[in-house]
Amino acid sequence: MSTTPRYAALDILRGIAILGTLGTNIWIFTNAEGLVGYINGTGRATGQWSFVQDVLQQVTQGKFLGLLTIMFGIGLAIQHRSAAGRGLPWPGKYPWRAALLMIDGVLHYFLFTEFDVLTGYAITGLVVAFVLSTGVQSQRIWIACALALHAAMLAVATAALAALPPNPGNRTLSPNPYADGTFWDLVVFRAENFALFRLETIFILPLSIALFLIGARLFAGGILDPGRARLRRTLMIVGFGGALPLDFALGLFGSDAGLVLGRYGTAPIVAFALLAAVAQRYADGRAPGSIGSALAPVGRMALSCYILQNVLCSIVCYGWGLGLASRLDGSTIVPATVALFAAVSATLMVVARLWLTRFERGPVEWLWNVSYQALAGGSDSPASAAVPPPVSVSRADR
């Protein structure tokens, strides 16, 4: 077993991505009409809170989803490297991993969140797993084609939205299963609207493939190594200096078309800058500080924490639980949402730290690994057994 330190940046980046996706999804949970209301523009803050809401939503819009997608690609690259180092065929038994992730995602979708990302990652991971078995040139062609297809789809979508009249934001959902329905009512509602709620998963598939592969190529290119400071600096300049201001301009002043263009166009570029910034801080091997130490356990239990945050928010916000969302109005939705985000984030960090003091894996990761061993046979080492992103690599593994 290697005694050299693991890349601290990996766990911290995953922790940031998990809490960042919560920062986006929390506004869907506190909307009295859930995802439908969020899309329709209902549940808006009023008065001085309106601009605050816009800014807070734009801070997280698309950027941490992009980062989480990139980290899944890096996790897949680590598994590929681990298999090659052990002389195992690739993708080998990986389709079993993808199948289990798909099952997790389907259950997560129907039981708790119609905006689940796990099903999309299962499909993307399966495709990318086979692409990683090809040469670098082939991977570059896949990236170029995926980005070109995504750009074409995004252009059509933004043009269509720009041609539509402004969204009045006064459509209501009746009956409203989020506020008035039982747990089972919401399950049925998600089943009845499966095609509608899964449209984003289909729409972003080319982008997800590209981000997976670019993440894998960046990892292979040493994005986490001390000697790649120039690469990281370039990503930060392009992402923070160029894409971020444009992203805010599109999101705050570009109506629905600008919001979509930012979420699926500029936000992923900012995600690479976030990756580079965290990697730069820990490239010299420094130990995590207090913030990093709080985020790293969330990253190590990324799958468990992702599911737990959605379970907690469902219990607090939906009518079958505490029903918080239906009691909020334009003057209270922003402070209540911020407070809920802080409370859930703190809960995740505390629970993850306490759990990992006694167990090697998070509970969902443990169940996932046991299921994988039962289906695929054999046992994986801790470094390669977990579904991406909850894997880490030491410098000695490189």
For residue 397, the model assigns a pLDDT of 40
Using 50, 70 and 90 to split pLDDT, how confident is the model at 171? low
Has residue 299 got a pLDDT over 80?
Answer: yes
For 352-370, b where at least 16 C-beta lie within 10 A, e where not — what string?
bbebbeeeebbebbbebbe
For residue 42, the model assigns a pLDDT of 87
For residue 286, the model assigns a pLDDT of 82
For residue 5, the model assigns a pLDDT of 41
Task: Return the HEC string of 346-383.
Answer: HHHHHHHHHHHCCCCCCHHHHHHHHHHHHHHCCCCCHH
Using 50, 70 and 90 to split pLDDT, how confident is the model at 6? low
Q: List, for residues 15-72, the tens digit of each pLDDT value.
A: 999 999 999 999 999 999 999 999 888 889 999 999 999 999 999 999 999 999 999 9
Q: Is 394 helix (H, G, I), strand (E, B) or coil?
A: strand
For residue 168, the model assigns a pLDDT of 61
Mean of the per-residue pLDDT values of the chain: 90
Please identify which residue in the block is written with the tokens 């592969």: 213
Has residue 384 got a pLDDT over 80?
Answer: no
For residue 8, the model assigns a pLDDT of 83
Has residue 382 got a pLDDT over 50?
Answer: no
Percent with pLDDT over 70 in the chain? 92
What size, in residues, is the chain? 398
Q: Span 211-215, mean pLDDT?
A: 97
Global pTM reads 0.91
Q: Report yes or no: 9 and 282 within 8 Å, Cβ to Cβ.
A: yes
